[in-house]
Amino acid sequence: MTARKQHIAFVAPRFPEGATVGGAETLMKNLARRLAAHGCRVTFLTTCAENHLTWENTLPAGTRSIGPIEVTRFPVDQKNDAGAFSDIQSEIVLNVELSRAEEQVWIENSVNSQALYTHLREKGDAYDCIITGPYLFGIPWFGAQIHPDKTLLLPCLHDEPYARLSIMRELFHAVRGVIYNAEPEARLAERLYGISREKGRVVGMGLDPFETNAAAFRKKFGIERPYVIYSGRREVGKGTPLLTHYLSTFRERTGRDIALLCTGSGTIIAPPEMQAHILDLGFLDEEDKHNAMAGALAFIHPSTFESFGIVLLESFLAGTPALVHAAGEVLKWQCEQANAGFWFRHYPDFEEELLLLLDHPELRQKMGASGRAYVEATYSWKAVEERLLRALEELL
């Protein structure tokens, strides 16, 4: 079956209308838009929630067209047993072995919407294909069980405690096929659940090329000092406290006056002596963010839980090499494939590699150019669209 003229439903806990709400949601929205542009009828089934911590229903329920996509929002259910959910969640994070029944209680009290499930049960026949994700929420988990024979999972899988739950193995085996963002993610699903390579396809997300102007950025924000950059949410899970501590130690040990420029949202946890050297610009528009990346000596992404790394690829497009954590398999793989970044296991690696980048501008330039060429070839929308359409054709 060719993808053109198909009616495709995307099912996800959130849909970003304005500012970016998260990598997985941005990815799904972009894939949905590309399929719509290709001639598919695309419906995005999601919730009325915007905040990924409170899951409060802040947007009105109902259907409206946003660009070429028809977005239908359903209210998030009240949790039946919030206490049990947080108790089990704490045990999951600590890698405590749980019974199947406990895992069931956890997913039943995750983000769910009975109204959305009813819609899928009653109107699901209208869709030729259902694409759902990311894997660790109630909505994709229950949503995928309603029409598993035509559901493709877009898991955004990380090597984390949630991935080791037995119910996740069930989810991956239940669906018709899996769409991965990168090769290491497919290898992880194979390792954790024994998912055959034939059942999945690597697609990823496309990025539009952009021009940058680092000088304009420096002028606009009055930044003259040399800096490295981090973009994204600032939280423990993303490794930002590790980054600020490493940079603080780096500054003290090497005497190099390097600032850390941060874009994105969240509180930056940093040692007191590093505070004066953090340039927190908060949420920037895309143009400013790309210019900020272009002006940086390096882009540093210390997260070990990424399934794609949109900001890493943006930094490559901006011509800036990267430093990533070696335990973050996907980011490390992207750096290796692109020859545009180094990976560190611990502080000593970090110090040596950052010094290497600082002291060799020609190396930075070569790596930046290599990264840009890699992203243009592998993650152009044309290349991604081809992979997505082929995946739909081959998996369904």
Closer of 231 and 304 to another protein (Cβ): 304
- 191 makes contact with another protein (CB under 8 A): no
| 204 and 281 Cβ atoms separated by less than 8 Å | no
**Of the residues 56, 257, 359, 394, which one makes contact with another protein according to CB under 8 A:** 359
Phi–psi pair at 376, nearest 5 degrees: -60, -35
Q: Which stretch binds another protein (CB under 8 A): 67-75, 178-186, 212-220, 352-360?
A: 352-360
Subset of residues 280 to 319 that bind another protein, contact rule: CB under 8 A = 304
Beta strands 62-66; 69-74: pairing state: antiparallel
- 254 makes contact with another protein (CB under 8 A): yes
Closer of 363 and 377 to another protein (Cβ): 363
CB of 343 to another protein, least distance (A): 6
**Of the residues 160, 190, 353, 376, which one makes contact with another protein according to CB under 8 A:** 353
Beta strands 177-180; 200-202: pairing state: parallel
The token pair at 359 is 């002291």
- 346 makes contact with another protein (CB under 8 A): yes
- 245 makes contact with another protein (CB under 8 A): yes
Closer of 331 and 392 to another protein (Cβ): 331
| 350 and 328 Cβ atoms separated by less than 8 Å | no
**Of the residues 69, 335, 392, 395, which one makes contact with another protein according to CB under 8 A:** 335
- 362 makes contact with another protein (CB under 8 A): yes
- 366 makes contact with another protein (CB under 8 A): yes
- 356 makes contact with another protein (CB under 8 A): yes
**Of the residues 341, 388, 391, 395, which one makes contact with another protein according to CB under 8 A:** 341
**Of the residues 123, 355, 390, 393, which one makes contact with another protein according to CB under 8 A:** 355
Cα Rg, the chain, nearest whole Å? 21
Q: Count other C-beta atoms under 10 Å from residue 286's C-beta.
A: 11
| 218 and 295 Cβ atoms separated by less than 8 Å | yes
253 membership: H or E segment, kind and range: helix 240-254
| C-alpha span between 257 and 262 (Å, rounded) | 16
- 345 makes contact with another protein (CB under 8 A): yes
How open is the CA angle 50-68-59, to the nearest 5 degrees? 20
CB of 321 to another protein, least distance (A): 9
| C-alpha span between 57 and 73 (Å, rounded) | 10
Binding residues for another protein, how many (CB under 8 A)? 39
For residues 244, 287, 265, 205, the Cα torsion angle rounded to the nearest 10 degrees is -90
| C-alpha span between 184 and 190 (Å, rounded) | 10
Q: Which residues bind another protein (CB under 8 A)?
A: 241-242, 245-246, 248-249, 252-255, 304, 325-327, 335-336, 338-343, 345-349, 351-353, 355-356, 359-360, 362-363, 366-367, 370
